[in-house]
């Protein structure tokens, strides 16, 4: 029983290591970004993401239009060049896997959730991550945040 309580406490500590991070809106058209969180991250700028681990991104937003579909697109911007980042789930409305269930009515506050695996083969680098949720090529939300990939 003591071991189970200890594991539960460790899980709570791990969950609490989330940080609302600084971001730049890069052209949201159908919603307003309220906050971006990274789990785990212990600094609000340039979260250090360790190779071989996965991180969770939460984007909380309020819709200004009805959202009937949402496709996620992620790019790492390296030396000004956007490099596509593959996501396991691009359809943000698919089965509630990303926390969204479409259609989303106007004026609704929702949170999109995605997992960002950091492969061991990635270089040690600071990079701007550009994350877009799009409906018919129009940005529902678009945000950029700085991260650092570390060993």
| Residue-wise pLDDT tens digits, 53-107 | 999 999 999 999 999 999 999 999 998 999 998 888 899 998 778 999 999 999 9
Give the pLDDT of residue 6. Answer: 33
Q: What is the overall mean pLDDT for the chain?
A: 87
Question: What are the residue ranges spanned by the domains of the chain?
Answer: 19-150
Q: Residue 15: its pLDDT value, please?
A: 45
User: What is the pLDDT averaged over residues 22-45?
Assistant: 94
Query: For the chain, how many helices (H) and strands (E)?
Result: 1, 10
CATH architecture of the domain 19-150 equals Sandwich (2.60)
Give mean pLDDT, residues 108-136.
95
Identify each DSSP E strand in the chain by its residue range.
19-20, 24-25, 31-39, 47-50, 54-63, 71-78, 81-85, 109-117, 125-135, 138-150
SS3 state at 120: coil
Of the chain, the percentage scoring pLDDT greater than 90 comes to 74
pLDDT of residue 2: 40
């Amino acid at each position: 029983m003591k071991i189970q309580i200890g594991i539960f406490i460790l899980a709570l500590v791990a969950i609490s290591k989330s940080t609302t991070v600084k971001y730049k809106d890069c052209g949201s058209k159908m919603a307003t970004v309220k906050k971006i969180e990274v789990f785990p991250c212990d600094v609000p700028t340039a979260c250090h993401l360790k190779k071989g681990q996965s991180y969770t991104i939460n984007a909380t937003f309020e819709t200004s239009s009805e959202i009937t579909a949402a496709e996620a697109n992620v790019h790492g911007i390296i030396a000004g060049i956007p490099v596509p980042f593959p996501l396991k789930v691009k359809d943000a409305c698919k089965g509630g896997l990303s926390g969204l269930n479409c259609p989303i009515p106007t004026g609704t506050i929702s949170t999109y959730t995605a997992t960002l695996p950091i492969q061991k083969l990635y270089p040690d680098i600071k990079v701007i991550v550009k994350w877009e949720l799009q409906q018919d090529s129009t940005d529902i939300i678009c945000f950029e945040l700085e991260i650092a990939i570390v060993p």
